[in-house]
């Protein structure tokens, strides 16, 4: 395991560039332009040296001054242009990498089992996709090309100083060893806490997202104080950790910044001694000081850039962990079903090894064109069965087949094309109502969208919205009520018109006025289709061809309404409780009408 981690750490940059959509090679070109830019910046120093030397020797004329001034100007122009080209190319590569990473992470989550997705908090996912990937841009666009140039520049300056006088060149390195010791000590102290920093940051992000998303519930139940304290506590913990971390590296970091670029500590006294001895001219000393100052800037930049590079390495390795999430296995060939009957054969399922099985040997057949209902106590496994048929997860044991074809042998896209799934809690995107419905059939015309909306009893309330069908549903559909969101989801399902329909109490939030019409629309749409309904209100499925009673992950009975009323005590109790609840609701409604009268 350690060897694998070491290999990943070594090739992390190559891995990063693999997401550059073919533009990674341009980064090398950016590095070349950066080096040319920095080296061009040394030419004006040489020009100043020659002009100063001419004045001291009393042989400087106007033509000499003009010549070196123009040379310095054009060198500076080359520096600016090359720097602009370098950063332009590096930013192009960086944003391609960011796009590639975000698309890849999104694709991984799209193809992963839901259990794998749910095992990561929203804050952690948001932190990686939005914040951490964005944090890669500055070091990739600046550290890599500019850092390469700033590594080359001190080398060139040292060689130039050696040409002036080797003793001055060696003097420039006098404080370097001590600076390197403090810098490596800083990296060692910092590296031990980098993982903890990432975890603290992810926890804080998760708490912020949870607090903001749940603020309506928090206010409704008067828990603002407790929840806010939990939210604020995560921020304080993050603050305390970062401060403690910075304090542990503050001394070594400051000493590294003090000694690493301290080239003048050796150059100036050595140069003064050499000038006094007549071994160096004043103009050569000026050139040596300018070159030493260039080394100061570059070595200071290297320290800053190295920290950015380490941060980028940790971020890439963390993203790699997400990219390793296992996808649902895709078959090499796509088997097509012979019809749309569904068979569950000894199906077993557990979300993970620690929790144990939640389904225990389910055997169930759904004939093509039949209406099957799943009922039972909460937590009995109804939604799990439905989601396994749609292959949101893979079964832990047994098989599920459609039309005689094991769904594992079907491409995920092929399965999605023949199965429509509508849940109680339906997600809408922050797009127009029209586009949210059109998700069911991306190529549908506006007329088809409106027809589906009318069938789902949506048209009337949609037309009352400010922009009608072009009105945005809001973030996660929060602009609409629960019943409205549910009807939009049903319209989406109607537009898709898949041969297999799974409804998880699809009319749960629908008002009584529209429920009957909506039930009729669904009944008309699902004629001839294989229909599976997860029901909590038993009156909606009393006419089902087969009612399956699930309890504690097992089928305890199945049959028609009449058969179950006679043979299944659990179903009988559920029906009586349902009838009682309906009578109570009807009584309340009647009382309300009398009161109004």
Residue 130 CA to residue 308 CA, distance in Å, equals: 18
Query: How many other CB atoms are there within 10 angstroms of residue 34's CB atom?
Result: 27
For 122-147, what is the mean pLDDT? 77
The predicted pLDDT at position 2 comes to 42
pTM of the model: 0.64
**C-alpha dihedral (173, 178, 179, 180), degrees to nearest 10:** 90
8 A C-beta contact, residue 87 and residue 303? no
Cα–Cα distances (Å) from 133 to 15, 91, 97, 504, in that order, read 14, 14, 9, 36
The predicted pLDDT at position 5 comes to 44
Residue 570 CA to residue 446 CA, distance in Å, equals: 47
Q: Which residues pair with 373 in a beta bridge?
A: 533, 547
| pLDDT tens digits along 15-53 | 777 777 766 678 888 888 988 998 898 898 888 888 888
Residues with Cβ within 8 Å of 391's Cβ and at least 6 positions away in sequence, in order, are: 328, 400, 407, 408, 412, 415
The predicted pLDDT at position 80 comes to 92
8 A C-beta contact, residue 177 and residue 208? no
| pLDDT tens digits along 183-206 | 677 666 666 666 666 667 767 766
Which carries the bigger pLDDT value, residue 414 or residue 296?
Answer: 414
Distance of CA 242 to the CA centre of its chain: 24
> Which range in 255-269, 283-297, 318-332, 432-446 is most confidently predicted, on average pLDDT?
432-446
The predicted pLDDT at position 4 comes to 45
Sign of the Cα torsion 407, 411, 417, 420 reads positive
The predicted pLDDT at position 236 comes to 77
Token readout for 162 is 């050696």
pLDDT score of 563 more than 50:
yes
Domain boundaries, the chain: 16-175+260-323, 342-428+492-596
pLDDT score of 173 more than 80:
no
For 391-419, what is the mean pLDDT? 87
Token readout for 124 is 């952690």
Least confident interval from 210-224, 264-278, 382-396, 568-582: 210-224
Which carries the bigger pLDDT value, residue 530 or residue 294?
Answer: 530
Output DSSP code: residue 430: S
Phi/psi at 528 (nearest 5 deg)? 80, -5
The predicted pLDDT at position 585 comes to 46
Contacts 24+ apart (CB under 8 A), 460-469: 462/433, 465/433, 467/432, 468/433, 469/432, 469/433, 469/434
pLDDT score of 77 more than 90:
yes
The predicted pLDDT at position 97 comes to 84
Residue 484 CA to residue 501 CA, distance in Å, equals: 20
Token readout for 596 is 């109004």
The predicted pLDDT at position 592 comes to 45
The predicted pLDDT at position 15 comes to 73
Least confident interval from 99-103, 159-163, 225-229, 365-369: 225-229
Which carries the bigger pLDDT value, residue 580 or residue 64?
Answer: 64
The three-state secondary structure class of 327 is coil
Q: Which residues pair with 421 in a beta bridge?
A: 502
Least confident interval from 50-64, 66-80, 216-230, 440-454: 216-230
Mean pLDDT across the chain, nearest whole number? 78
The predicted pLDDT at position 588 comes to 46
Burial of residue 196 (CB within 10 Å: 0-12, 13-18, 19+) is exposed
| pLDDT tens digits along 1-11 | 344 444 555 57
CATH code for the structural domain at 342-428+492-596: 3.40.50.300
pLDDT score of 524 more than 70:
no
Q: Which residues pair with 501 in a beta bridge?
A: 420, 531
Residues with Cβ within 8 Å of 371's Cβ and at least 6 positions away in sequence, in order, are: 526, 531, 533, 541, 543, 544, 545, 546
The predicted pLDDT at position 219 comes to 62
**C-alpha dihedral (576, 581, 582, 585), degrees to nearest 10:** 160
Residue 125 CA to residue 543 CA, distance in Å, equals: 44
Phi/psi at 344 (nearest 5 deg)? -110, 120
Residue 490 CA to residue 452 CA, distance in Å, equals: 9
**Percent of the chain beyond pLDDT 90?**
4
For 354-361, what is the mean pLDDT? 79
Give which of 183, 291, 198 is closest to 242, Cα–Cα: 198
Residue 346: band (very low, low, confident or very high) from pLDDT cuts 50, 70, 90: very high
Contacts 24+ apart (CB under 8 A), 551-557: 551/376, 551/377, 551/380, 552/360, 552/379, 552/380, 552/381, 553/357, 553/358, 553/359, 553/360, 553/362, 553/380, 553/381, 553/384, 554/360, 554/361, 554/362, 554/381, 555/362, 555/363, 555/364, 556/376
Residues with Cβ within 8 Å of 196's Cβ and at least 6 positions away in sequence, in order, are: 241
| pLDDT tens digits along 261-316 | 566 677 788 888 888 888 888 888 888 888 887 777 777 677 667 767 777 777 78
Distance of CA 438 to the CA centre of its chain: 25
pLDDT score of 445 more than 80:
yes
Q: Which residues pair with 548 in a beta bridge?
A: 374, 558
| pLDDT tens digits along 472-481 | 887 666 777 7
Kindly calculate the radius of gyration of the chain based on its CA atoms and give it in whole angstroms.
35
Match domain 16-175+260-323 to its CATH number in 3.90.420.10, 3.30.70.20, 1.20.1560.10, 1.10.10.10. Answer: 1.20.1560.10
Which carries the bigger pLDDT value, residue 245 or residue 399?
Answer: 399
């Amino acid at each position: 395991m350690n060897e694998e981690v070491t290999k990943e750490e070594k090739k992390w940059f190559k891995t990063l560039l693999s997401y550059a959509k073919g533009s990674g090679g341009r980064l090398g070109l950016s590095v070349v332009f950066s080096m040319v830019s920095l080296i061009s910046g040394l030419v004006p120093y040489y020009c100043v040296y020659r002009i100063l030397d001419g004045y001291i020797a009393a042989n400087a004329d106007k033509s000499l001054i003009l010549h070196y001034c123009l040379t310095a100007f054009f060198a500076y122009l080359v520096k600016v242009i090359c720097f602009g080209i370098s950063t332009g190319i590096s930013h192009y590569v960086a944003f391609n990498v960011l796009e590639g990473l975000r698309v890849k992470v999104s694709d991984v989550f799209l193809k992963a089992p839901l259990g794998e997705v749910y095992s990561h908090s929203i804050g952690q996912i948001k932190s990686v996709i939005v914040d951490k990937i964005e944090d890669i841009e500055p070091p990739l666009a600046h550290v890599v090309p500019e850092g390469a140039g700033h590594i080359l520049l001190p080398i060139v300056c040292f060689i130039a100083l050696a040409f002036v006088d080797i003793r001055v060149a060696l003097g420039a390195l006098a404080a370097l060893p001590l600076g390197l010791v403090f810098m490596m000590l800083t990296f060692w102290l910092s590296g031990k806490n980098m993982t903890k920093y990432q975890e603290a940051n992810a926890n804080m992000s998760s708490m912020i997202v949870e607090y903001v998303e749940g603020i309506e519930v928090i206010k409704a139940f008067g828990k603002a104080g407790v929840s806010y304290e939990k939210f604020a506590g995560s921020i304080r913990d993050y603050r305390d950790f970062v401060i403690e971390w910075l304090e542990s590296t503050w001394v070594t970091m400051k000493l590294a910044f003090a000694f690493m670029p301290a080239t003048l500590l050796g150059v100036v006294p050595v140069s003064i001694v050499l000038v006094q001895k007549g071994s160096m001219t004043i103009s050569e000393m000026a050139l040596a000081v300018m070159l030493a100052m260039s080394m100061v800037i570059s070595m200071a930049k290297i320290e800053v850039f190295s920290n950015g590079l380490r941060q980028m390495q940790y971020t890439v390795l963390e993203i790699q962990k997400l990219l390793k999430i296992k996808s649902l296995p895709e078959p090499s060939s796509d088997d097509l079903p012979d019809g749309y009957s569904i068979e569950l054969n000894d199906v077993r399922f557990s979300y993970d090894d620690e929790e144990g099985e939640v389904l225990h040997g389910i055997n169930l057949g759904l004939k093509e064109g039949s209406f099957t209902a799943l009922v039972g106590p909460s937590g009995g496994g109804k939604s799990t069965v439905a989601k396994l048929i749609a292959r949101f997860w893979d079964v832990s044991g047994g098989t599920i087949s459609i039309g005689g074809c094991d769904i594992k042998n079907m491409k995920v896209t092929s399965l999605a094309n023949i199965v429509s799934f509508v849940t109680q809690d339906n997600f809408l995107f922050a797009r127009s109502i029209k586009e949210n419905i059109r998700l069911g059939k991306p190529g549908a015309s506006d007329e088809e969208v409106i027809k589906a909306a009318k069938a789902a009893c949506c048209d009337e309330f949609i037309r009352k919205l400010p922009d009608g069908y072009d009105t945005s549903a809001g973030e996660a559909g929060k602009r609409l009520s629960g019943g409205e969101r549910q009807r939009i989801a049903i319209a989406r399902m109607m537009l898709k018109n898949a041969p297999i329909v799974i409804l998880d109490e699809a009319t749960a939030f629908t008002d009584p006025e529209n429920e009957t019409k909506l039930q009729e629309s669904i009944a008309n749409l699902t004629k001839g289709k294989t229909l599976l309904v997860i029901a909590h209100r038993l009156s909606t499925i009393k006419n089902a061809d087969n009612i399956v009673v699930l309890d504690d992950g097992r089928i305890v009975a199945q049959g028609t309404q009449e058969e179950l009323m006679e043979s299944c005590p659990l179903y009988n109790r559920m029906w009586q409780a349902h009838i009682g609840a309906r009578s109570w609701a009807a009584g309340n409604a009647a009382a309300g009408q009398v009161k109004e009268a």
